[in-house]
Amino acid sequence: MTDILTSGRSFDRYCELLKLTKDDLKKIKLVLDVGAGFSGFTGSLLENGKNAYAVDSGYYDMNNFIKKYFDQKISESSEKFHKKFVQDKEKYQRYLEMQKSNQEDKERKVDGLLIACDKFKSHFIPASCFALPFNDKSFDLAVSIESLGNLNYFSYEEFVCGLNEMKRVAKEVRIYSAILNKKVLDNFKENLNLERKLLIF
């Protein structure tokens, strides 16, 4: 898998996507963020006094992980935009501004992760979501945001494998993705919220 999972959302936005209320957060003692990538969720939890851990296979070689992130191709839609409007100066300028903004966003995410890793080093663990290095039911909540459930990154079989690991190590599991795998949608209907983007187990 070559794609790198990223997210630069605010802490409140993470909680909104995961349907976590202030009361929920008060009850939760220990959180695991699976396939965390450059997500700021774990760092935000730690800064807010919660005990949390992030796992990602990319953390095995952070320098290479960051390099791949910055080398990552622009999205297919951006490439199409470029090809279609390269002759239109106004639209091409918008395209260039979008790419600059994307680069600056990447830099913010990387800086945020490096700061969090430096401050809370033991809480960012290199590990595969298919073999989580934790005891059974050791976490109150395990989450995966735009990672395990995203059809662009994992197959249905991989999703089930990762889900089973999350369910093994946590008392509750919440998986969010704006583009959930269709087979996941079909087979886990009872776990879906109304927006069909969040699974709760």
| Whole-number average pLDDT of the chain | 82
Instruction: Give me the residue spans of the domains in the chain.
Output: 11-70+122-200, 74-109
Q: Into which CATH architecture does domain 11-70+122-200 fall?
A: 3-Layer(aba) Sandwich (3.40)
Average pLDDT over residues 87-106: 66
pLDDT value of residue 191: 94
With bands split at pLDDT 50, 70 and 90, how would you rate the model's confidence at 62? confident
DSSP, collapsed to helix, strand or coil, labels residue 32 as strand
Average pLDDT over residues 92-112: 68
pLDDT value of residue 89: 66
| φ, ψ for residue 51, nearest 5 deg | -95, 120
pLDDT value of residue 11: 85
- Dist CA 107 CA 195 (whole Å): 31
pLDDT value of residue 39: 76
Q: Dihedral sign for Cα 59, 60, 62, 66, please.
A: negative
pLDDT value of residue 5: 37
DSSP, collapsed to helix, strand or coil, labels residue 141 as strand
| φ, ψ for residue 161, nearest 5 deg | -60, -50
Per the model's pLDDT, the better-predicted residue between 88 and 174 turns out to be 174
| φ, ψ for residue 167, nearest 5 deg | -65, -30
- Model confidence at 9: pLDDT above 70: no
Sheet holding 170-176, edge to edge: 124-126, 51-56, 30-34, 139-145, 170-176, 198-200
Residues 6+ apart with CB under 8 A from 180: 149, 150, 151, 196, 197, 199
* 155-183 confidence digits (pLDDT tens): 999 999 999 999 999 999 999 998 888 89
Token pair in block for residue 75: 């999205």
Neighbours of 27 (CB within 10 A): 9
Token pair in block for residue 2: 């070559």
- Model confidence at 194: pLDDT above 50: yes
- Dist CA 37 CA 73 (whole Å): 17
